[in-house]
């Protein structure tokens, strides 16, 4: 326990993590805590991170942002899911579409009925029953909460946005709410010699910025969480073999697809994130299997338009800080750990860490129990997302390179192994308490990667053959009919 009353919060870093944290803290804690953000334009930000997942909508709503203004200011677009191309086999693809698939029955998810339908010779794809998928591939969108005239959920969505513009947008918001911004490069960190708690950040100019609690949003360097208080980094590279990315923006095609593309290559994978004014592209690869020249060739051989800048190389190490909160330093964003952007989870992790920090906020002094709980929740959250990402690699059937063969052969964490075995044998999959990804997300990735369940829940036998056929046909017709009524994605973006 440190008895200091927390009145001054200092955030180091003005990337997506820094400004998201500043904006949310200012909105919720602004009346009780003074917030200062230090950033260095000279150092800049990582400059990538443009695809999100649906909880971002809650974040923007919590701030009270207007969606139209947000999309306009960030050149944003709608994201209905991620299309995985060539991940199970070259030439095959599937989507992790947000939202529901089909119609869930009490105690029994829809996919059990679909498995029975397939076992009886049905040929429909699982995604024939996904409203999000059908809307995505037909380039349509409207934020409908329900399928009209039914109780079935409508479309679930997230955003693609220009990360630099989002940070600027949030900066304006946070400064209006009283956050003080200090420009400058931190060259020294002063600590209390007895407790080891950080007391101030010293800038190159000599200015000292003092605080009671420090949010480390300094990016991969982890200037406070690593260099100042020494929280150890646990690597997960034994399961996630990629350690490098090459990023380049390009001109867009004529349409703006409402989904992210993740395209598998011989030794890694490529992302395409369509924005209103350009497409964000990058290749994530393993430096033990591919040189930068090989990565360049793969990436530039498959751009949707002219490159708009020189490519940038970003080395990374997958893993996380064992203690995301240590002493009076809480790390958020890249400073706290990194999972490759396969399921667009990093920005979400900032959102959830900032929310957790608010819930545990130590107004009346830092208590060990709160710190321990914060760290426990952070670890569990990261481990579950980690397993979901490993699944994509482990369940590949490509076998066309040493890279993919090694992924298929690697031992995976027991938690994932058990989930895969259960699904393979019974079709059952469970969302652990607090798991970010729902059962439907796990089902889609497992089925998409070629894990076909050998069995299904007996409840699905409660329908006669005729009732099952009617159910499948009526759902398909309902979804197709709904998608036909939706406007083009571009029309939604250009609405006044």
Report the side by side order of strands in the sheet with 279-285.
93-97, 81-85, 260-265, 268-274, 279-285, 244-250, 312-315
Instruction: Output 219 or 448, the one with its CB closest to ligand FAD.
Output: 219
What residues pair up with 128 in beta bridges, in sequence order?
Answer: none
Q: Is 249 in the site for ligand FAD (CB under 6 A)?
A: no
Tell me which residues in 294-323 interact with ligand FAD (CB under 6 A): 314, 316
4 versus 302: smaller Cβ distance to ligand FAD: 302
268: contact with ligand FAD by CB under 6 A: no
Which one, 13 or 427, has the nearer CB to ligand FAD?
Answer: 13
Nearer to ligand FAD, 134 or 272 (CB): 272
Q: Token pair of 173, please?
A: 């918001």
Per-residue tokens: 136: 């995505």
Single out the residue of 102, 54, 57, 55 nearest to residue 80, CA to CA.
54
59 touches ligand FAD (CB under 6 A): no
* Chain residues 319-348 in contact with ligand FAD, contact rule CB under 6 A: 333-335, 341, 344, 346-347
Alpha helices in 187-319 (DSSP H): 292-300
Q: Which stretch binds ligand FAD (CB under 6 A): 13-21, 134-142, 232-240, 401-409?
A: 13-21
Contact yes or no for 84/133 (Cβ under 8 A): no
Nearer to ligand FAD, 367 or 379 (CB): 379
- Interface with ligand FAD (CB under 6 A), residue from 16, 318, 352, 378: 16
The verdict on 185 binding ligand FAD (CB under 6 A) reads yes
C-alpha separations of 438 from 59, 346, 434, 435 in Å: 19, 17, 10, 7
Asked if 449 contacts 95 with a C-beta cutoff of 8 angstroms, the reply is: no
The binder of ligand FAD chosen from 6, 15, 82, 262 (CB under 6 A): 15
CB of 275 to ligand FAD, least distance (A): 12
Give the three-state DSSP class for 337.
strand
**Which among 79, 103, 326, 428 is annotated as catalytic?**
79
CB nearer to ligand FAD: pick between 43 and 469: 43
- By CB under 6 A, tell whether 245 contacts ligand FAD: yes
25 binds ligand FAD (CB under 6 A): no
Q: Is 227 in the active site?
A: no
Looking at the Cβ atoms of 223 and 275, the one nearer to ligand FAD is 223
Q: Please give, one letter per residue, the 3-state secondary structure of 375-392.
A: HHHHHHHHHHHHHHHHHH
Phi first, then psi: give them for residue 376, nearest 5 degrees: -65, -50
Applying CB under 6 A, which of residues 17, 23, 225, 479 lies at the interface with ligand FAD? 17
* Alpha-helical segments (H) within 395-493: 402-409, 414-426, 439-448, 465-484, 489-493
Q: Is residue 49 near ligand FAD by the rule CB under 6 A?
A: yes
Stretch binding ligand FAD (CB under 6 A), from 100-108, 211-219, 226-234, 363-371: 211-219
Cβ of residue 220: shortest distance to ligand FAD, in angstroms? 6
45 binds ligand FAD (CB under 6 A): yes
CA 95 from centre of chain: 15
8 A C-beta contact, residue 207 and residue 182: yes
Instruction: Give the number of residues in contact with ligand FAD, rule: CB under 6 A.
Output: 39
Task: Tell me, rounded to whole angstroms, the distance of Cα 169 from its chain centroid.
Answer: 20
User: Could you give the angle at the alpha carbon of 218 between the alpha carbons of 280 and 383, nearest 5°?
Assistant: 75
223 binds ligand FAD (CB under 6 A): yes
Contact status, residue 377 vs residue 356, Cβ threshold 8 Å: yes
Member of 221, 303, 358, 406 binding ligand FAD (CB under 6 A): 221
C-beta separation of 472 from 126 below 8 A: no
39 in Cβ contact with 13 (< 8 Å): yes
Of 249, 282, 311, 427, the one binding ligand FAD by CB under 6 A: 282
Binder among 9, 48, 158, 440 for ligand FAD (CB under 6 A): 48
**Rounded (to 5) percent helix, strand, coil in the chain:** 40, 20, 40
If the CB atoms of residues 128 and 340 are measured against ligand FAD, the closer one turns out to be: 340
Within 69-98, which residues bind ligand FAD (CB under 6 A)?
Answer: none
Asked if 56 interacts with ligand FAD (CB under 6 A), we say no
Query: How many C-beta neighbours within 10 Å does residue 364 have?
Result: 11
**Which residues bind to ligand FAD, rule: CB under 6 A?**
12-18, 38-40, 43-46, 48-52, 163, 185-186, 217-219, 221, 223, 245, 247, 282, 314, 316, 333-335, 341, 344, 346-347
Catalytic site residues? 79
């Amino acid at each position: 326990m440190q008895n200091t009353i927390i009145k001054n919060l200092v955030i180091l870093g003005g990337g997506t993590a820094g400004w998201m944290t500043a904006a949310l803290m200012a909105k919720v804690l602004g009346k009780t805590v003074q917030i200062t953000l230090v950033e260095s334009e000279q150092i800049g930000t990582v400059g990538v991170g443009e695809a999100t997942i649906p909880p971002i909508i809650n974040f923007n709503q919590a701030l009270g942002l207007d969606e139209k203004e947000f999309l306009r200011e960030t050149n944003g677009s709608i994201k209905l899911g991620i299309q995985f191309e060539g991940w199970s086999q070259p030439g095959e693809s599937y989507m992790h579409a947000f939202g529901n698939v089909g119609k869930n029955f009490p105690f029994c998810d829809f996919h059990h009925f679909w498995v029975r339908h397939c076992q009886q010779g049905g040929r429909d794809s699982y995604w024939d029953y996904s409203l999000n998928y059908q809307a995505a591939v037909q380039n349509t969108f409207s934020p409908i909460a329900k399928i009209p005239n039914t109780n079935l959920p409508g479309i679930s969505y997230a955003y693609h946005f220009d990360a630099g513009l989002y940070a600027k947008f949030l900066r304006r918001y946070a400064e209006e709410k009283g956050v003080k911004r200090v420009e400058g490069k931190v060259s020294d960190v002063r600590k209390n010699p007895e407790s080891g708690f950080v007391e101030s950040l010293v800038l190159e100019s000599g200015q000292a910025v003092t605080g009671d609690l420090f949010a480390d949003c300094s990016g991969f360097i982890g200037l406070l969480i690593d260099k100042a208080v020494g929280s150890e980094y646990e690597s997960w590279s034994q399961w996630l073999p990629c350690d490098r990315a090459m990023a380049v923006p390009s001109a867009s095609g004529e349409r703006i697809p409402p989904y992210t593309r993740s395209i598998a290559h011989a030794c890694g994978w490529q992302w395409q994130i369509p924005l209103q004014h350009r497409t964000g592209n990058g290749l994530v690869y393993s430096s033990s299997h591919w040189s930068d020249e090989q990565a360049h060739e793969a990436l530039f051989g498959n751009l949707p338009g002219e490159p708009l800048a020189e490519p940038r190389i970003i080395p990374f190490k997958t893993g996380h800080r064992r203690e995301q909160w240590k002493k009076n330093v809480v790390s958020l964003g890249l400073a706290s750990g990194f999972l490759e952007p396969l399921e667009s989870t990093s920005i979400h992790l900032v959102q959830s860490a900032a929310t957790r920090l608010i819930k545990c906020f130590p107004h009346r002094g830092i208590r060990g129990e709160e710190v321990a709980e914060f760290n426990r929740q952070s670890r569990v959250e990261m481990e579950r997302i980690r397993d979901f990402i490993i699944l994509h690699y482990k369940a590949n059937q490509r076998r066309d390179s040493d890279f993919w063969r090694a992924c298929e052969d690697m031992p995976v964490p027991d938690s994932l192994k058990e989930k895969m075995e259960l699904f393979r044998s019974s079709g059952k999959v469970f969302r652990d308490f607090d798991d970010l990804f729902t059962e439907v997300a796990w089902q889609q990735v497992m089925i998409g990667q070629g894990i076909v369940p050998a069995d299904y829940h007996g409840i699905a036998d409660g329908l006669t053959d005729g009732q099952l056929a009617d159910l499948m046909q009526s759902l398909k017709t309902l979804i197709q009919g709904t998608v036909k009524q939706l406007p083009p994605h571009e029309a939604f973006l250009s609405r006044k």
